[in-house]
């Protein structure tokens, strides 16, 4: 077996394990959200979103990019691991304390003082992430995604039970916050058991300097992204109110669930795989183009379905009183399609030792996005979300600038996986919308089923006809027992691609 075949097979198995974990986690989480939306108010979701939005920013500071360094480094010894761990522990303690002190001021500044105690408790999750960063990095470096999938699925299920129990006892927004915290604490304990690694005493300033030189760009990128999320939440809350933020949060959870069920399993595997082949431009180019093609092709039909069936899906899952959330789902779905390559591109540039390219690019794009949000908020939530989708589309086209030189490809080669799904998305969306319109007199569940079937079947047929090589690439990551019948259904055009 060649090195490429062996790596591809290992990567495919890892993707399938992570996919299974995402399905267990997200379907369970989605059922939990359906239950919670019928117990909690939009204001509860808005308060919880306000309390948790700042945390990704803190997570980045606690890790300092060291876990990414450990995944992609050529050699990692015990001294390096110990240095990374002790720094993460110290920064986690410091940041958790800072959150506890600053929470009341943050809540007041956002006009949501009731979010302060929730934010203080969530400070514990920062410490949990910091303590688990090295064991998680070791498992990813070894591509032990099967173990990670199992322990993360277990933690998610327990956390979802906790959230429902808290909501039923009148806990309000605390149900959403404790769900996050509980899941992270369980993952923390689990990774320490599974990784079988213990920190050694000692700290190497020489190794620390090397990790800092690499991690500064990773941290910069993470900070820019987290600041954007936090700033956009603040803009919506300050400009439109907590209730509008609650509607947006529900819509985002719906789209995020669909995104996680389709392509998110590919993303955590990508950086480890790219790091292993970064010395061969040809192998790297082939792996990147395959990963990008699969990501865009797999996520598109789900997002097209959500875009055309949002009113029916929101009414069925969350109730008629959450109908406002449906209005922004189509724009969020477009944003998700355009932005799916974001994580693959980040994994490529970080995994190959070029985090500075990524940082410079997203710092420019995200600064523009915030200016657009500040301007559009005066026109309402819909205008803001449409602006986000437009920025995401432009970003998808411009990401070829930092990516193409790294893999020795033309900008057109990098852009093509995104542009290639646009015609299939338009055709599938038009057919799905038509079927939903015709099925409107039928029961809601049947109407949604027929619309989803129309989108899915039309998309698969259009992809096989218009993009046969992409279809073959998607089938290549599936086990033979699944890929074989799929090829038979889609016909000779795919088999010969």
Structure tokens at 272: 């480890």
Query: In degrees, to the nearest 5, what angle opens at C-alpha 295 toward C-alphas 485 and 52?
Result: 130
Burial state string for 234-247 with b = 16 or more CB within 10 A and e = fewer than 16: bbbbebbebebbbb
pLDDT tier for residue 152 given thresholds of 50, 70 and 90: confident
pLDDT for residue 26 is more than 90: no
pLDDT for residue 437 is more than 80: yes
In a domain, 128, yes or no: yes
- Mean pLDDT across 403-428: 91
In a domain, 380, yes or no: no
Q: If you average pLDDT over each of 5-19, 272-286, 471-485, which comes out highest?
A: 272-286
In a domain, 140, yes or no: yes
Answer for the pair 190, 71: CB distance below 8 angstroms, yes or no: no
Residue 180's pLDDT is 84
pLDDT tier for residue 426 given thresholds of 50, 70 and 90: very high
The per-residue pLDDT of the chain, averaged, comes to 81
Residue 412's pLDDT is 93
CA distance 109 to 127: 24
Rounded to 5 degrees, what are φ and ψ at 163? -60, -45
- Mean pLDDT across 117-123: 83
Q: Residue 459's closest CA among 424, 486, 410?
A: 424
Chain segment 466-480, per-residue pLDDT in tens: 888 777 766 665 555
In a domain, 261, yes or no: no
Q: Domain limits at 137?
A: 39-217
Predicted structure pTM score: 0.68
Q: What number of residues does the chain have? A: 497
In a domain, 314, yes or no: no
Chain segment 225-259, per-residue pLDDT in tens: 777 877 888 888 888 888 888 888 888 878 877 77
In a domain, 101, yes or no: yes
Residue 201's pLDDT is 83
Chain segment 445-457, per-residue pLDDT in tens: 999 999 999 999 9
Chain segment 296-320, per-residue pLDDT in tens: 888 889 899 999 999 988 888 887 7
Answer for the pair 358, 402: CB distance below 8 angstroms, yes or no: yes
pLDDT tier for residue 1 given thresholds of 50, 70 and 90: very low
- Total domains present in the chain: 1
- Mean pLDDT across 121-131: 84
In a domain, 70, yes or no: yes
Residue 368's pLDDT is 87
In a domain, 58, yes or no: yes
């Amino acid at each position: 077996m060649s090195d490429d075949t062996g790596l591809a097979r290992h990567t495919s198995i890892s993707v399938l394990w992570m996919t299974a974990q995402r399905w267990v986690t997200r379907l369970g989480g989605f059922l939990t959200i359906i239950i919670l939306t019928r117990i909690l108010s939009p204001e509860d979701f808005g308060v919880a979103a306000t309390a948790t939005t700042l945390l990704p920013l803190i997570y980045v500071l606690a890790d300092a990019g060291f876990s990414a360094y450990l995944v992609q480094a050529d050699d990692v010894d015990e001294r390096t691991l110990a240095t990374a761990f002790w720094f993460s522990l110290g920064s986690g303690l410091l940041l958790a304390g800072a959150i506890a002190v600053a929470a009341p001021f943050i809540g007041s500044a956002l006009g949501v003082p009731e979010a302060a105690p929730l934010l203080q408790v969530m400070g514990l999750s920062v410490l949990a992430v910091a303590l688990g960063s090295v064991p998680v990095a070791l498992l990813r470096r070894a591509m032990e995604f099967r173990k990670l999938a199992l322990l993360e699925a277990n933690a998610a299920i327990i956390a979802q039970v906790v959230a429902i129990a808290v909501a039923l006892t009148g806990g309000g927004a605390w149900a959403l916050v404790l769900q996050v915290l509980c899941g992270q604490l369980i993952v923390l304990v689990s990774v320490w058991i599974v990784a079988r690694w213990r920190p050694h005493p000692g700290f190497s300033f020489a190794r620390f300097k090397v990790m800092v030189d690499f991690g500064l760009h990773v941290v910069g990128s993470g900070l820019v992204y987290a600041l954007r999320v936090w700033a956009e939440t603040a803009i919506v809350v300050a400009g439109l109110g907590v209730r509008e933020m609650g509607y947006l949060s529900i819509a985002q959870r719906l789209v995020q669930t669909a995104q996680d069920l389709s392509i998110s399993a590919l993303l955590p595997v990508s950086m480890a795989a790219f790091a292993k082949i970064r010395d061969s431009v040809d192998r790297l180019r082939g792996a990147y183009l395959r990963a990008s093609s699969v990501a865009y092709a797999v996520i598109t039909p789900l997002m097209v379905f959500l875009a055309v069936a949002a009113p029916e899906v929101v009414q069925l899952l969350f109730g008629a009183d959450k109908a406002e959330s449906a209005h922004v789902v189509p724009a969020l779905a477009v944003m998700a399609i355009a932005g799916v390559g974001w994580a693959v591109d980040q994994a490529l540039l970080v995994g190959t030792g070029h985090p500075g390219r990524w940082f410079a690019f997203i710092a420019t794009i995200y600064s523009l996005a915030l200016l657009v949000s500040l301007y559009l908020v005066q026109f309402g939530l819909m205008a803001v979300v449409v602006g986000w989708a437009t920025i995401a589309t432009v970003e998808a086209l411009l990401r070829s600038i930092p990516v193409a030189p790294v893999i020795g490809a033309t900008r057109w080669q990098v852009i093509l996986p995104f542009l290639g799904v646009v015609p299939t998305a338009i055709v599938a969306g038009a057919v799905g919308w038509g079927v939903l319109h015709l099925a409107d007199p039928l029961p809601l569940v049947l109407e949604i089923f027929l619309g989803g079937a129309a989108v899915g079947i039309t998309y698969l047929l259009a992809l096989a006809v218009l993009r046969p090589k992409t279809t073959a690439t998607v089938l290549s990551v599936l086990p033979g027992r699944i890929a074989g019948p799929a090829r038979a259904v889609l016909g000779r055009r795919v088999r010969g691609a």
